[in-house]
């Protein structure tokens, strides 16, 4: 096998597995961009968090975007390095791939940590958001309204979470009432985003403007909450948003965990396979060289025998 064939085989062995690496890298980056760009997903992650101002899952998506960019860039450097026979570019490629592998595995472990803290801190944090932070137009309110409209839920655990909240006291309709002593006659018990929506909006809540929901019956919605109908009714959503978000959030967590661990392990296994292929190629080359030497010896013996016969 001449040098040209050897170089082509080396290039092919390097290029093919790295195409898969690029695909995985683009997939990781795509998931990260989607989770950062989609408003509904951002709202879900914001609300379903022990610390909305330091959301762990949004941090992981940022890590995966960076990992995807580094993966594509690193593979491009490696391909050029192999093609042009530039050792320093191959060193950069190896360092970038190791760094990306660590980033993705670390991201997977962070997702595991987030999953473990859900039952300890998240429900309490969501209740605190409703009790002390929610207002219709502030940042917390914008996220909560989106979640409550999209998922047909109310409060963290139920509509009861709005009772005696800062929002309840701030409502002009509740002026002159106190909580809990004079709670029940108050006009406004929950935001409109907690109410069952009118027919057209309720048919497809994904398309409803979160700040402009139209309740089916706003008065009855608030009366039902005042009457302690926490389980819900035909006018108020009874399911808490913690329960509504839980399955969806576990799906996101498993996606992030799977991406981190699978892509990281794929890179590790690819390096092992490449090493084994290099060893096999080296052995085959040595074997062929030995075979060629034996053939040359046989030819020499044949020539000697012919001279003797003559």
Query: Which of 31-35, 194-198, 286-290 tops mean pLDDT?
Result: 194-198
- What percent of the chain shows pLDDT beyond 90? 27
Per-residue pLDDT, 107: 75
Cα 251 from Cα 57, distance rounded (Å): 12
Read off the pLDDT of each residue in 12-23 and give the average, rounded to a whole number: 76
Query: Residues 266-281: pLDDT tens digits?
Result: 666 655 444 444 444 4
The more confident residue out of 46 and 113 is: 46
Terminal Cα-to-Cα distance of the chain (whole angstroms): 36
Which residues in 116-144 are b (16+ Cβ under 10 Å) and which e?
eebeeebbebbbebbbebbbeeeebbbbb
pLDDT band of 264, cuts 50, 70, 90: low
Cα 308 from Cα 304, distance rounded (Å): 6
Q: How many CB atoms lie within 10 A of CB 86?
A: 15
Query: Chain-wide mean pLDDT for the chain?
Result: 78
Query: Residues 47-89: pLDDT tens digits?
Result: 887 666 666 677 777 888 888 888 888 888 888 888 888 888 8
pLDDT band of 141, cuts 50, 70, 90: very high
Cα 294 from Cα 297, distance rounded (Å): 5
215 CB-near residues (< 8 Å, 6+ apart): 192, 195, 196, 197, 198, 221, 235
pLDDT band of 199, cuts 50, 70, 90: very high
Per-residue pLDDT, 197: 96
- Domain residues of the chain, as ranges? 3-126+248-275, 129-244
């Amino acid at each position: 096998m001449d040098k040209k064939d050897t170089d082509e085989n080396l290039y092919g062995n390097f290029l093919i597995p790295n195409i898969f690496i690029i695909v995985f890298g683009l997939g990781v980056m795509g998931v990260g961009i989607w989770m950062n760009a989609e408003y509904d997903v951002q709202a879900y992650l914001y609300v379903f968090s022990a610390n909305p101002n330091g959301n762990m899952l949004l941090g992981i998506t940022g890590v995966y975007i960076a990992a995807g960019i580094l993966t594509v860039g690193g593979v491009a450097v490696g391909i050029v390095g192999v093609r042009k026979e530039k050792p320093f570019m191959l060193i950069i490629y190896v360092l970038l791939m190791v760094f990306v592998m660590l980033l993705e595995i670390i991201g997977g472990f962070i997702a595991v940590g987030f999953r473990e803290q859900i039952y300890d801190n998240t429900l309490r944090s969501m209740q605190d958001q409703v009790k002390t932070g929610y207002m219709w137009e502030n940042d917390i309110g914008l996220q909560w309204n989106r979640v409550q409209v999209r998922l047909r839920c109310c409060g963290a655990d139920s509509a009861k979470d709005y009772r005696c909240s800062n929002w309840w006291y701030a409502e002009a309709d509740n002026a002159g009432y106190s909580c809990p002593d004079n709670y029940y006659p108050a006009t406004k018990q929950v935001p409109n985003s907690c109410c069952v929506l009118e027919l057209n909006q309720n048919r497809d809540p994904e398309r409803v403007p979160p700040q402009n929901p139209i309740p089916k019956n706003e008065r009855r919605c608030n009366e039902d909450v005042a009457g302690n109908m926490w389980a819900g009714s035909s006018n108020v959503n009874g399911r808490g948003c913690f329960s509504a978000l839980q399955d969806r959030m576990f799906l996101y967590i498993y996606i992030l965990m799977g991406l981190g661990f699978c892509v990281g392990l794929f890179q590790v296994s690819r390096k092992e396979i490449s090493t084994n292929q290099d060893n096999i190629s080296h052995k085959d080359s040595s074997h062929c060289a030995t075979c060629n030497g034996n053939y040359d010896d046989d030819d020499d013996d044949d020539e000697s025998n012919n001279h003797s016969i003559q």
